Structure 1
Amino acid sequence: MSHVVDARGKRCPLPVIMLAKLAANQPPGTRIEVLADDPAAAVDIPAWCRMRGHTFVAAAGDAYTVELKG
């Protein structure tokens, strides 16, 4: 299962807050793509993954892909 969080135009910490809110209700294995044009997202989203035990899959332009772990 995959979802998209559109956080374009939002500034830190909103992209991570939006990601965390969606992730809280999803099962392990879910992939979430975060669209974020705030430069801080390039650091914040991988850091959130490390802190929560999820996998940071990829970054491509303004898109960041996360896979949720159990």
Structure 2
Amino acid sequence: MSLLLAGDTAVYDLKGLNCPLPVLKAKKRLAGMQPGSRLWLETTDPLAVIDIPAFCSDAGHQLIETAAISGGHRFLVERGETV
């Protein structure tokens, strides 16, 4: 797992982790960010296409964009007001 930058937005590499780790790690990372901040999550877990949107909805974050990438998916999440 690593944190890179794509423009002004950090990319959190969660590839190779299986459910529930991508959501748990994303939750922890987003908790340390300011409301309105954005974070790309990159995953290879096939369940992430269900888990990440559900997590965002439950936690009050906004899922801005979802994209397929080689071997997985990428999610742009905007941190909500509460975690």
Interval containing the TM-score (normalised by the shorter chain): over 0.9
Query: Which of structures 1 and 2 has the larger relative contact order (alpha carbons within 8 angstroms, sep 6+)?
Result: 1
Larger proportion of strand? 2
After the TM superposition, which segments of 4 or more aligned residues of structure 1 sit over 4 Å from their partners?
none
Q: Could you tell me the percent identity over the aligned residues?
A: 37
Selected match of 1:60 from 50, 67, 71: 67
* Gapped regions of structure 2 (runs ≥ 5): 1-7
**Structure 1 alignment gaps of length 5 or more:** none
TM-score by length of 2: 0.79
Q: Return the index of the structure with the highest Cα Rg.
A: 2
How far apart, in 1, do the equivalents of 2:10 and 2:26 lie? Answer: 10
2:23 to 16, 20, 24: 16
Structure 2 SS opposite 1:27: coil
RMSD, matched Cα: 1.1
**Counterpart position of 2:14:** 7
TM-score (norm 1): 0.92
Structure 2 CA distance for aligned equivalents of residues 47 and 34 of structure 1: 14
Q: Please list the CA deviations of residues 17-53 of structure 1 after superposition, one character each: whole Å capped at 9, or x if unmatched.
A: 1101101111111111100011100010000011011
Name the CA distance, whole Å, in 1 between partners of 2:40 and 2:74.
6
